[in-house]
Chains A and B, each alone.
Chain A
Amino acid sequence: MGFQIEKMSFSYGDNKVIDNISLHLEPGRFYGIIGPNGCGKSTFLDLLSNQSQPAAGSLFFMEKDLAKYSKKALSRLIALVPQNFYINFSFTAREIVLMGRYPHIPRFSAPALHDMEIVDDVMQKTETSQFKNRFITELSGGERQRVVFARALAQETDVLILDEATSNFDVNHSIRMLNLAALGVEKNGKTVITVLQDINLAAIFCEYLIFIKNGRIAAYGKTSEVLNENTIKSVFNVDAKVYHDSYSNSKQVVFRR
């Protein structure tokens, strides 16, 4: 079950972006991926969501080669919230969220009542209902990203992959969205794999952290064990203090100039 990664590599031309990664991701857990810019985080997520295929090594999902799944089947199992998106056509927010249901609706059928209920439900949870009939092109960056997040939730997949999905959110919405994701993990046994820039946010929500540097895994393990001064120093080359914070009930990292 989950993702079984063995000696996976991937390169763009001569540039080796993912270098011999072996990892086992269990279902029902909240994983955070942390690393410096350009370390291969997004590429790693692309490989997990079968946007690209490994050049070497193997990548199995639920005991089957990921590349052997049809796109259609995979779209019911894995949802992706991308980092950048640019929507040029004036779909309404609700239409965008409804697109998350397309993998479950046959090509020429109208959405069923059940689909509509899911759409309205996730829009309420993500606080996007108030602009459901506005055009996606008119929304602010954060609002748009919430709509895209709602779209991924509407897809109702076992695995939710977030590529810096909270980058445009204010702190209220970051916590609200990550809570929604965490709720899915706790209640429904879903798997969340997210890239986060904010280490402290990652420390609050993620049970497991994967530190990536130069396409390799620099550190991997339970957040409480793996998040420490040495890891931060070796991955980011930054001096930091890591302590247990009782208010957030998690490890927190502070920096100084």
Chain B
Amino acid sequence: MFIVIIISSGSGYINIKFVDVFKIIASKCTGNRDLLEGMNKIFSVIVFDVRLPRILTAAIVGAGLSISGAVFQGILLNPLADPYTLGVSAGAAFGASIAILFNINLFAFAGISSCSVPVFAFAGAIATLFFVIFLASSNSSATRSGLSSNNLILSGIIVAAILSAGISFLKYLADEQVSIIIFWLMGSFASNGWPDVQLTLLFVCTGFLISFFFARDLNLMALGDRTASSLGVDTKKVTLILLVTASLVAAVCVSVSGIIGFVGLLVPHMTRAVTGPDNRKLIPVSMMAGAILLLCADTITRAVLPSEIPIGVLTALIGGPFFCYIFKKRQMSGSGI
């Protein structure tokens, strides 16, 4: 993980030696200025103010999306679940598009204008989540659990369809700003700074701790609600807590980086092939795997490819076919997912 960070900090339009990168980081951490002597001063600025925030955000977002994907899959007992299936990402994107389109600046008076997009994405995601839960929960009776996963996914897809039509409408209205929205929707880490790092780190860490705490309960819920409940899991409570946690994490990730597809779906899948379905291993390992994967993908778009393409496009282009391959292979071998 650390090594990947160092390598990707060094590569880019201006190549910087790995030793130097290490020195720069070390000097920032220890406050020791001597290490920087004999180095081009601009290097330190490039590494610390331009590349590192972006790199860290990419890693944290990768981790966040993977956690949220793993948790959604565990709760819904559906390996195809992820923030998209539930409409959470679409909700966040819709909220953020509104903020961008109308150039809303709620916090102008406080001097932190950069906050309105995350806050709107956040509000969008949570509103969508609760609307989806509301649609999915039948108070009429016949369901024992109250929240059946089929209902949840169906409602999620319906709501997501409505929201993407809404986003298209916003784009139509947007005229001049349309390029901003489109580029943001495709997903990019290009403009991330230190505040983004702090924001995502805070939420992803909290999300990780909460989901890790409930990992064993999540294992039991794989046996079905009735069994889990008879083994001492308060299924309704755990479902709700984990759904909200995973949605918040997804919303924060979407708000800083736009829609990055397939990470939340793919990483827990690949990880499950290595660790098995035990969520106590799955959640931490897929967090690391997601971080490394997205970081590598971002480094490729930034440093290897001739012109920078949105990372969301890259992950979908690589991840999509790979996912099809895994899906088909699993089906043929007849084993579960």
Contact = CB atoms under 8 A, between A and B. Distances in A.
B25 to A, nearest CB: 33
A52 B144 contact: yes
Given A88-B78, A99-B220, A49 B231 contact: no
Given A13-B141, A46-B144, A99 B223 contact: yes
Interface in B227-241: 227, 229-234
A150 B222 CA distance: 17
A89 B277 contact: yes
Range class of the A interface residue count: 35 or more
B231 A103 contact: yes
Nearest to A45: B226
A135 B335 contact: yes
A137 B336 contact: yes
Contact of B224 (A74, A79, A82, A102): A82
Contact of A87 (B78, B223, B233): B223
A138 B227 contact: no
Contacts of A71: 229, 232-234
A75 B230 contact: yes
B209 interface: no
Contacts, number: 101
A87 B231 contact: no
A141 B231 CA distance: 22
A174 to B, nearest CB: 21
B306 interface: no
A99 B231 contact: yes
Range class of the B interface residue count: 20 to 34
A68 B222 CA distance: 26
A91 B277 contact: yes
A247 interface: no
A74 B229 CA distance: 10
Contact of A91 (B142, B231, B276): B276
A202 to B, nearest CB: 22
A56 to B, nearest CB: 15
A90 B224 contact: no
A86 B230 contact: no
Contacts of B277: 89-91
B219 interface: yes
Contacts of B216: 102, 107
B166 interface: no
Contacts of B232: 71-76, 102-103
A196 interface: no
A148 B222 CA distance: 13
A75 B222 contact: no
B142 A88 contact: no
Interface in A165-222: none
Interface in A75-115: 75-76, 78-80, 82, 84-92, 95-96, 99-100, 102-103, 107
21 contacts: A11-B141, A13-B140, A13-B141, A46-B226, A51-B230, A52-B144, A71-B229, A76-B232, A80-B226, A85-B227, A87-B336, A89-B272, A89-B336, A90-B272, A90-B336, A91-B219, A103-B231, A107-B213, A136-B336, A137-B336, A155-B231
Given A85-B223, A90-B336, A99-B220, 17 more contacts: A12-B142, A51-B229, A51-B230, A71-B229, A71-B233, A80-B230, A82-B230, A84-B224, A87-B336, A90-B277, A91-B222, A91-B276, A102-B220, A103-B231, A138-B334, A148-B223, A148-B227
